[in-house]
Amino acid sequence: MLSNGLYSQSFHSDESTDLRSYLQAEEQKWPDVSASSAEEAARRYLEVMLSPVRPEAAFMPEPEMETAAKPQFKAVGVEKSPLTDTQFVKFRQYHHNIPVYGSLVTVELGSQNRLMAMNSALGSPLNVDPIARISPAQAVEVVEEDAGSGACRTSAAPSIQYFYDSGVDRWRLAYIFEDVKSLREAPKTELRGVPQIFDYAIDAHNGKIIARLPRVQNGAAAVTRIDERPAPAEGPVLETALDDLDREREFVCLQHEGQKLLIDPELNVHTYDFGFHDADTESGSLPGVYVTSPPDPWLKCAVSAHANACIVAAFYRDVLKRNGVDNRGHRFTSSVQCLYGPEGRQTREWRNAVWDGEQMIYGQRLVEGTLRGYGASLDVVAHEITHGVTENTCRLEYRFESGAMNESYSDIFGIIISNYKEPDIEKWNWQLGEELDPSGVPIRDVSEPTTYGQPDHMNDYRRFPSGYDAGGVHVNSGIHNKAFYNLITSKDVEGRYLFDAESVAKLFYLALTQRLASTSTFSDSYRGVLLSAQTYFRNDPARDAKIAAVRTAFEAVGIRLTTAAPVTVAMMRLAA
C-alpha cells in the first residue's frame, strides 16, 4: 500500500457530537441558506467545518504552520441525487491557484440547503515551488520519447498540478497528461494484448517522469470513432434468438428497410460486428457495421453482447437513475468479434473484453473448439461498463490500492446486476466469468476471494511492483470485494437479511460517483459507503442496525476509517 498524500475525514449531521451543536449555532448567525444557491450554501458549511476555532479535530490535526499560504477551493459541480433527494456539491483544492491532484471535498445538502454530510481528501504541498522550470512543449517531448512520437495529441494539452510522488513520499509540481495511447509494444512484465493507455505525470521542475498511470480499462478516445449518425428508424420490434451459450434470448431491435438491426432505441444500446479486425491498428474503423438479420440466423456472440448490455443499461437507468455511461445519454456501444494485436490472428482468439473510453470491445476464446464471445457473460459485461461509469465520475487511478478498488467496484456491480432478478440472496452466484473458461473455473469469487488466490483481509494485502498487474489491481480487489459480500449478506438478530440488492447497489453507487476521487483508497470507500448509508437510511426503522452492519462489513476485512497524511490548519483554510 502506498500513501496518496491526502488527509481524509468525514462528518454526518445525524451524529450527536459537539461539532453538530457548534454547526447549528453558526447557522443561526447566517442569512437563510435556503435562499442561497447550493454552491453558496456548501461554501458556507465548508468554511465553518475547516475553521481552526471549531470543536473537535474532525477535519484537521493541530496547527503546524499558521503562516502558510491559504489554498482555494473551487466548485467543480453540483448534482441532484434522485436516490437520496439530496444535492452534492464538489470542490477541488487549489494552492497558489494550482489544483492538488486527487483532492476532493464533497458537501451533501438536504432540504432547504441544510448540511447533510461532508467528506474531504486534502493535500499539503506547502514547500513545493509553484513555478515550472520546463515548458509544456518540453513535457510533451518527454512523454513522446517514452510513448512514441505522435502519442501526445494537440487536443490533449497537459494541466499543471501538485502531484504526490508516493515513491519518495513528497509532493511535486507536475504536468499531467491524460489518456495517452502508447505507440510502443508493452514490456513483457506488463499487461499485453490490451490498449496501452496511460496518464503521465512529468516533473515540471526537472522534466523527469514521476508516474506512468495505466488506464487499461479506458482506451484511446482520440482514435476511437463512434458512429454517431442517427439510427435508422422504422420502429422497434421484439426478437428472439439463441446466444453464445445456446440460450434463447429476447431482445429489442430496430426494423429498417427489410432488415432488423441490433439497436434498442429506448435503452440506447447499439451492437456492431468488427469482423475480427484489429482494434489496435484499425481503431479508426470502430465500431464496425451494425449486426443485422438477415442474414439469418442472428450472430450468437452479438445476441449475447446486445441482450446483456440491455440488462446493464436498464439497471443503471431504472435502479440507479443514471442516463447512460456518462449520465448525459452516451450510447451503450458494443463491438463483437474483435482482435487486438498480432497474437491470435490464426485462431481468432483475443481473450479479453475492454471498455475503451467510448465503447465495449469484445474478444473471444475457444471453448470446446468453438469461439465464444466475452459478451456471453452478463457479469463481465456489467463489470466493463462499470469501468466506464468510474471513468466518467471519480476516475480512479488504475494502479495499487486505487486500482484494486476500481476493479472491485466493477466486480461488485457485475455480481449485483447478474443476480438482481433473484430475490433470494441464498441462491446468488458469487462467481465472475465462469462461462468464459473451458473448465468452468471462474475469474474471481467475491464470497471466497482466497479460492482463486486473492487476499480477503488487509493483513494479507500483497505488494507488487507497478509493472505487475498495475501493482496487483486484480489481486487485492478481493479485500474490498469481501467487504461488499459481508455487507450484502448481513443479517439482523432474527437471522433475516438486512439489505436487498437495490439498496446495497445504491450505497456503492453513491460512494463511487459522489464521494471518491482519483487516488481514493479502501478507507475512503468505507467512509463513502458509510456516509451514503447514513443519508439513505435516515428514515429507516432499521437504520442503526444497517449502519452498524456497514461498519462491521469493512472492519471485518481490516479496512479502517484512517485519516492518512497530516495536514496543517493553515493549509486547510478557505481563501478569503
Q: Which residues are known catalytic residues?
A: 384, 474
Instruction: Please give the Cα distance from 292 to 303 (Å, whole number).
Output: 10
The DSSP code for 564 is B
**Can the peptide bond before residue 187 be classed as cis, meaning omega within 30 degrees of 0?**
no
For 436-462, give one letter per residue: b (16+ CB within 10 A) or e. Answer: beeeeebbbbbbbbeeeebbbbbeebb
Give kind and range of the element (H or E) at residue 141.
Answer: helix 136-147
Instruction: Please give the Cα distance from 76 to 486 (Å, whole number).
Output: 34
For 153, counting Cβ atoms within 10 Å of its Cβ (0-12 exposed, 13-18 middle, 19+ buried), the class is middle
Other beta carbons less than 10 A from residue 212's beta carbon: 20
Rounded (5°) CA angle 121-67-570: 25
CA 544 centroid distance within chain:
28
Task: Give the three cell numbers for residue 144.
Answer: 513522446
Instruction: Please give the Cα distance from 308 to 377 (Å, whole number).
Output: 8
Instruction: Please give the Cα distance from 44 to 91 (Å, whole number).
Output: 12
Provide DSSP, 414-483: HHHHHHTT---GGG---EESGGGSTT---SEESS-GGGGT---SGGGPPP--TTSHHHHTTTTHHHHHHH
Pairing of β 269-278 and β 332-339: parallel
Instruction: Please give the Cα distance from 542 to 521 (Å, whole number).
Output: 28
Contacts with 27 (C-beta within 8 Å, 6 or more apart), sequence order: 33, 114
Give residue for cell 473510453: 357
Task: Give the three cell numbers for residue 241.
Answer: 434468438
